[in-house]
Structure 1
Amino acid sequence: MMLDRRSLLAAGLVLGIPAAQARRPRDMRVILLGQSLIQQNLCAPPWPGMDAIVRRMAGADVIFTDLETAIDGPGAGPPTRTGEVLHAAKPDVIDCLKTMGVTMVTTANNHAWDLGSGGILTAIDALDRRGIVHAGTGRDLETASRAAFQNTPAGRVALVSAAAGAIRDGAAATAERPGVAEIRRLASGELDPGDVVRTLDAIRAARSSAATVIFCLHNHYWEKVQADTPEWQRSFARACIDAGASTFVAHGTPLMQGMEQYKGAPIFHGLGNFIFQTRKADGAYGPATWRSLIVDARFRDGRFQGADLVPVQLDARKYGGEYSAGYPVLAKERSTRFGTGR
Structure 2
Amino acid sequence: MTEKLAVNSGHDDNGPVQPGLHDVDGCVETNVADGFTLVAVGDLIVTRPLTKGHHPGFSEVVEILRNADATFGNMETNILDIRSFKGSPQAEHGGANHVSLPDLGPDLKSMGFNLVSYANNHTFEWGVEGMRETCRALGQNGIVYAGVGENLAKAGAARFLETPRGRVALISCASTFTPMSRACDPAGEAPGRPGLNPLRLEERIVVTPPMFESLRQVRNALPNYRPGESNSTSLKLAGATYTTGENGGYSYRPNPIDVANVLRNTRQGKQFADFCIVTNHGHEPGNWSQQPPDYEQAFARQMIDAGADAYIVHGPHQLRGIEIYKGRPIFYSVGNFIMDDLWTPVGADMFAAYGKDPRTDTDAEVTLAEMAEGYETDAGFSDPIFHESVIAVSRFENNQLAQTRLYRKRVGHPTYLSDC
TM range, smaller chain: 0.7 to 0.9
Alpha-carbon distance, 1:187 to partner = 4.9
1:280 to 368, 388, 400: 368
Say which SS state the counterpart of residue 186 (structure 1) adopts: strand
The equivalent of 1:337 in structure 2 is: 419
TM-score (norm 2): 0.67
Say which SS state the counterpart of residue 190 (structure 1) adopts: strand
Alpha-carbon distance, 1:301 to partner = 6.6
The equivalent of 2:149 in structure 1 is: 138
Say which SS state the counterpart of residue 85 (structure 1) adopts: coil
The answer to whether the 8 Å contact 2:283/2:316 transfers is yes
Instruction: Determine the C-alpha separation between the residues in 1 that align with 2:287 and 2:39.
Output: 30
Instruction: Determine the C-alpha separation between the residues in 2 that align with 1:181 and 1:83.
Output: 16
The answer to whether the 8 Å contact 2:174/2:199 transfers is yes
Alpha-carbon distance, 1:228 to partner = 1.3
Asked if residue 186 in structure 1 is aligned to residue 283 in structure 2, the reply is: no
The equivalent of 1:226 in structure 2 is: 289
Identical-residue share of aligned pairs (%): 31
Which 10-residue stretch deviates more, 283-292 or 133-142?
283-292
The equivalent of 1:156 in structure 2 is: 167
Question: What are the residue-to-residue correspondences of 1:206-221 with 2, within 5 Å?
Answer: 206-221=269-284
CA 58–121 in structure 1, closer or farther in 2 if over 3 Å, else same? closer
Question: What are the residue-to-residue correspondences of 1:283-302 with 2, within 5 Å?
Answer: 284-285=380-381, 286-300=383-397
CA 173–76 in structure 1, closer or farther in 2 if over 3 Å, else same? farther
Runs of 5+ consecutive residues of structure 1 not aligned to the other structure: 1-23, 315-328
Instruction: Determine the C-alpha separation between the residues in 1 that align with 2:94 and 2:64.
Output: 36
Instruction: Determine the C-alpha separation between the residues in 2 that align with 1:334 and 1:87.
Output: 31
Amino acid at match of 1:178: P
The equivalent of 2:68 in structure 1 is: 60
Question: What are the residue-to-residue correspondences of 1:1-342 with 2, within 5 Å?
Answer: 25-73=33-81, 77-80=87-90, 85-165=96-176, 167-175=177-185, 176-187=192-203, 189-223=252-286, 225-278=288-341, 279-281=367-369, 284-285=380-381, 286-300=383-397, 303-314=400-411, 329-331=412-414, 333-338=415-420
Instruction: Determine the C-alpha separation between the residues in 1 that align with 2:86 and 2:399.
Output: 37
Instruction: Determine the C-alpha separation between the residues in 1 that align with 2:86 and 2:280.
Output: 25
The answer to whether the 8 Å contact 2:90/2:126 transfers is yes
CA 259–72 in structure 1, closer or farther in 2 if over 3 Å, else same? same
Instruction: Determine the C-alpha separation between the residues in 2 that align with 1:142 and 1:83.
Output: 24
Say which SS state the counterpart of residue 51 (structure 2) adopts: coil
- Structure 1, residues 68-103: CA drift from partner, whole Å, max 9, x if none? 012224665201157971111122112221111111
CA 313–76 in structure 1, closer or farther in 2 if over 3 Å, else same? farther
Say which SS state the counterpart of residue 262 (structure 2) adopts: helix
Alpha-carbon distance, 1:302 to partner = 5.3
Amino acid at match of 2:409: V
Instruction: Determine the C-alpha separation between the residues in 2 that align with 1:76 and 1:199.
Output: 33
The answer to whether the 8 Å contact 2:171/2:277 transfers is yes
Instruction: Determine the C-alpha separation between the residues in 2 that align with 1:55 and 1:75.
Output: 34
Higher relative contact order at CA 8 Å, sep ≥6: structure 1 or structure 2?
A: 2
Alpha-carbon distance, 1:288 to partner = 0.9
Alpha-carbon distance, 1:139 to partner = 1.2
CA 280–292 in structure 1, closer or farther in 2 if over 3 Å, else same? same
CA 97–235 in structure 1, closer or farther in 2 if over 3 Å, else same? same
The runs of at least 4 consecutive aligned structure 1 residues that moved more than 6 Å come to none
Amino acid at match of 1:280: L
Instruction: Determine the C-alpha separation between the residues in 2 that align with 1:253 and 1:148.
Output: 24
TM-score (norm 1): 0.82
CA RMSD across the alignment: 2.1
Say which SS state the counterpart of residue 127 (structure 1) adopts: helix
The answer to whether the 8 Å contact 1:298/1:305 transfers is yes
CA 213–301 in structure 1, closer or farther in 2 if over 3 Å, else same? farther
Runs of 5+ consecutive residues of structure 2 not aligned to the other structure: 1-31, 186-191, 205-251, 342-366, 373-379
- Structure 1, residues 159-189: CA drift from partner, whole Å, max 9, x if none? 1000012x22321111211111111012553
Which has more radius of gyration?
2
Instruction: Determine the C-alpha separation between the residues in 2 that align with 1:224 and 1:135.
Output: 24
- Structure 1, residues 13-49: CA drift from partner, whole Å, max 9, x if none? xxxxxxxxxxx93321111111101112223324222
The answer to whether the 8 Å contact 1:86/1:114 transfers is yes
Say which SS state the counterpart of residue 200 (structure 2) adopts: coil
The answer to whether the 8 Å contact 2:200/2:254 transfers is yes
